[in-house]
């Protein structure tokens, strides 16, 4: 029990025998509230220090509420902390973007043409663009899919755990861990199950056709000029044809 709580309790018991102690008890209760409020404010200040975006010579930086420079004013723009990532602020320099944390440490260098919102494509991932190519980085700022693709589709569009990637007119797939599950070598990939369950028709640069399954394996070699599915005919139709 806190000392003031103990003393209040003691005075409360004594007041039963001496009503004059009322004023003493009231004073102690006020003191208790003041001490509690002071401690709460001290903790709040220590763990939630305000930071301010400042501008100097058309460049932006960040200072603390005590005037200490956290980030020097050298960036074209700075967004608010926690907008895209907890404890990070998006920074821009010469048209390229990165991130800085609340200690002023650069956690992602300003090298991307664009940085997307997290969790749009995959949990904990952000779509990044560099030199006109796309990839992904994770919540630690590490590239989990290098920005080498011209286009990246949505997970689940073809297979629940895969996203289509395209480079130089060729297509393949990556999984949610960033691994290449189907090499980027097909000019066209049809939807799974269109011709046969769990299979997708693929076409290579030589216009040859084959099939891949949902493990990414070529179950039918890509060597055929044409592939048509067998269709069952009704007995009556066969009889009429005879």
Quick check: helix, strand or coil at residue 121?
Answer: coil
Q: What is the 3-state secondary structure (H, E, C) of 27-87?
A: HHHHHHHHHHHHHHHHHHHHHCCCEEEEEECCEEEEEECCCCEEEEEEECEECCCCCCCCC
pTM of this prediction? 0.73
Question: How much is the average pLDDT of 12-26?
Answer: 54
What's the pLDDT at 234?
Answer: 42
What's the mean per-residue pLDDT of the chain?
83
- For residue 74, give every residue at least 6 positions away whose Cβ sits within 8 Å of its Cβ, in sequence order, or none: 59, 61, 93
Give tens-digit pLDDT for 139-184: 999 999 999 999 999 999 999 999 999 999 999 999 999 999 999 9
- pLDDT exceeds 80 at position 86: yes
- Which of the residue ranges 3-17, 28-42, 61-75, 92-106 would you say has the lowest mean pLDDT? 28-42
Phi-psi region for residue 168, left (φ > 0), alpha (ψ -120 to 50) or beta? left
The CA-to-CA distance between both ends of the chain, in Å, stands at 100
What's the pLDDT at 136?
Answer: 98
Taking only Cα atoms into account, the Rg of the chain, rounded to an integer number of angstroms, comes to 33
The H or E element containing residue 10 is helix 3-15
Q: How confident is the model at residue 12 (pLDDT cuts 50, 70, 90)?
A: low
What's the pLDDT at 6?
Answer: 46
Question: How much is the average pLDDT of 19-36?
Answer: 50
Give tens-digit pLDDT for 188-239: 999 999 989 999 999 999 999 999 999 999 999 999 999 886 554 443 333 3
Question: Which of 54, 38, 58 has the alpha carbon at shortest distance from 46?
Answer: 38
Q: How confident is the model at residue 13 (pLDDT cuts 50, 70, 90)?
A: low
Question: Which of 212, 216, 143 has the alpha carbon at shortest distance from 174?
Answer: 216
Q: Do residues 95 and 81 lie in contact, with contact meaning Cβ atoms separated by under 8 Å? A: no
By percentage, how much of the chain surpasses pLDDT 90?
Answer: 72
């Amino acid at each position: 029990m806190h000392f003031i709580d103990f003393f209040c309790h003691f005075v409360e018991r004594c007041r039963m025998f001496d009503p004059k102690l009322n004023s003493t008890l009231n004073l102690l209760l006020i003191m208790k509230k003041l001490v509690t409020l002071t401690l709460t404010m001290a903790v709040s200040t220590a763990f939630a220090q305000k930071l301010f975006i400042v501008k100097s010579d058309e460049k932006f930086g960040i200072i603390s509420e005590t005037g200490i420079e956290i980030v020097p004013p050298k960036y074209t723009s700075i967004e608010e902390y926690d907008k895209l990532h907890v404890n990070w602020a998006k920074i821009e320099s010469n048209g390229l973007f990165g991130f800085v944390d609340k200690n002023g440490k650069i956690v992602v260098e300003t090298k991307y043409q664009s940085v997307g919102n997290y969790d749009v494509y995959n949990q904990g991932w952000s779509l990044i663009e560099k030199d006109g190519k796309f990839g992904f980085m994770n919540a630690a700022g590490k590239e989990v899919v290098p920005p080498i693709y011209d286009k990246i589709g949505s997970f689940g569009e073809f297979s629940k755990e895969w996203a289509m990637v395209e480079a130089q007119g060729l297509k393949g797939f990556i999984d949610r861990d960033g691994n290449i599950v189907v090499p980027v070598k097909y000019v066209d990939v049809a939807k799974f199950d269109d011709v046969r369950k769990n299979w997708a028709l693929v076409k290579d640069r030589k216009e040859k056709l084959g099939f891949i399954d949902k493990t990414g394996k070529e179950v039918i070699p890509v060597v055929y000029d044409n592939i048509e599915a067998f269709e069952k005919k009704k007995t009556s139709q066969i009889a009429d044809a005879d």
